[in-house]
């Protein structure tokens, strides 16, 4: 078996095991760009975005774009409307993936999937962040309570109606409780804004 054949089989095995990989991850495994280019020409591998590769028969989940974004921006965190949708707390279908990156981080230039970036600082990138496996990709997503608070914090970007929908569904589905909301909202300095809505929905049984 030639070196090219070995690289080809190794590339396919990696994609079967891990779902999606970036070019630099293949290179780290000793698989050259020319091998990947040949696999794409043969349609054994597809390239959904620049520098990103997957198998053509990969079963696409509803959260597929979140997995793609996580691979392309490994230090980013899925947040706001995208996190609400993942947790099934909104009927909104965002036209782009909402992703938080560090305030000082370089803003990646990505053609696909479309990504809307917001800037978080320090512990805001780690606190209340869960890890979910989507198509074998480890995807960081803010938890329900943190997501709802963030939507109130960024209500001028996502809309107060979206934040209220997330709050209502989060309480109704028992995906969060007032104590969790208070804890995150106090740190984000939006409890004074959220409190009337939380109290009204709790008294109404959400």
| Residue 21 shares a structural domain with residue 118 | no
Determine the Cα angle at 131 with ends 197 and 150, to 5°: 25
| Residue 153 shares a structural domain with residue 178 | yes
pLDDT of 60 higher than 80:
no
Mean pLDDT of the residues in the chain: 88
- Could you tell me the pLDDT band of residue 40, with boundaries at 50, 70 and 90? confident
Tens of pLDDT along 143-178?
999 999 999 999 999 999 999 999 999 999 999 999
Residue 17 belongs to some domain of the structure:
yes
- Could you tell me the pLDDT band of residue 206, with boundaries at 50, 70 and 90? low
Tens of pLDDT along 88-98?
999 888 888 99
Tens of pLDDT along 111-151?
778 899 999 988 889 999 999 998 888 999 999 999 999 99
- The whole-number pLDDT of residue 109 equals 84
Residue 39 belongs to some domain of the structure:
yes
pTM, rounded to two decimals: 0.73
Name the helix (H) or strand (E) containing 132.
Answer: strand 129-134
| Residue 46 shares a structural domain with residue 113 | no
What range does the domain containing 24 cover? Answer: 3-54
Q: Which of 51, 27, 38, 28 is closest to 2 using CA atoms?
A: 38
- The whole-number pLDDT of residue 110 equals 82
Determine the Cα angle at 144 with ends 136 and 140, to 5°: 30
- The whole-number pLDDT of residue 188 equals 92
Q: Which of 17, 139, 126, 18 is closest to 69 using CA atoms?
A: 139
> CB of 29 within 8 A of CB of 10?
yes
Mean predicted confidence (pLDDT) in 69-87: 94
Residue 59 belongs to some domain of the structure:
no
CB count within 10 Å of CB 19 equals 20
| Residue 30 shares a structural domain with residue 90 | no
Give me the number of domains the chain comprises: 2
Residue 79 belongs to some domain of the structure:
yes
Q: Which residues, in sequence order, are bridge partners of residue 46? A: 54
- The whole-number pLDDT of residue 102 equals 93
Backbone φ and ψ of 100, nearest 5°: -95, 140
| Residue 185 shares a structural domain with residue 106 | yes
Residues 52, 196: Cα–Cα separation, whole Å = 45
- The whole-number pLDDT of residue 93 equals 81
- Could you tell me the pLDDT band of residue 16, with boundaries at 50, 70 and 90? confident
- The whole-number pLDDT of residue 87 equals 96
Residue 187 belongs to some domain of the structure:
yes
Residue 43 belongs to some domain of the structure:
yes
Residue 23 belongs to some domain of the structure:
yes
| Residue 101 shares a structural domain with residue 191 | yes
| Residue 127 shares a structural domain with residue 186 | yes
- Strand 137-142: give its sheet, edge to edge: 115-120, 97-102, 77-78, 137-142, 129-134
Q: Which of 169, 198, 194 is closest to 91 using CA atoms?
A: 169
| Residue 79 shares a structural domain with residue 24 | no
Mean predicted confidence (pLDDT) in 3-26: 82
| Residue 129 shares a structural domain with residue 81 | yes
| Residue 68 shares a structural domain with residue 144 | yes
């Amino acid at each position: 078996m030639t070196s090219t054949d070995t690289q080809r089989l190794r590339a396919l095995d990696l994609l079967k095991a891990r779902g999606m990989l970036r070019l630099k991850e293949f290179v780290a495994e000793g698989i050259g760009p020319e091998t990947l280019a040949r696999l794409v020409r043969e349609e054994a591998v597809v390239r959904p975005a620049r520098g990103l590769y997957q198998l053509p028969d990969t079963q696409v989940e509803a959260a597929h774009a979140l997995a793609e974004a996580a691979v392309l921006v490994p230090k980013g965190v899925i947040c706001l409307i995208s996190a609400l949708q993942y947790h099934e707390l909104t009927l909104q279908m965002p036209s782009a993936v909402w992703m938080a990156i560090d305030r000082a981080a370089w803003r990646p230039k990505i053609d696909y999937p479309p990504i809307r970036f917001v800037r978080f600082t320090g512990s805001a990138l780690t606190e209340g962040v869960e890890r979910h496996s989507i198509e074998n990709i480890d995807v960081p997503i803010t938890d329900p309570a943190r997501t709802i608070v963030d939507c109130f914090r960024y209500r001028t970007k996502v809309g107060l109606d979206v934040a209220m929908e997330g709050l209502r569904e989060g309480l109704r589905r028992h995906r969060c409780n007032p104590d969790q909301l208070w804890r995150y909202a106090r740190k984000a300095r939006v409890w004074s804004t959220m409190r009337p809505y939380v109290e009204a929905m709790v008294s109404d049984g959400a």
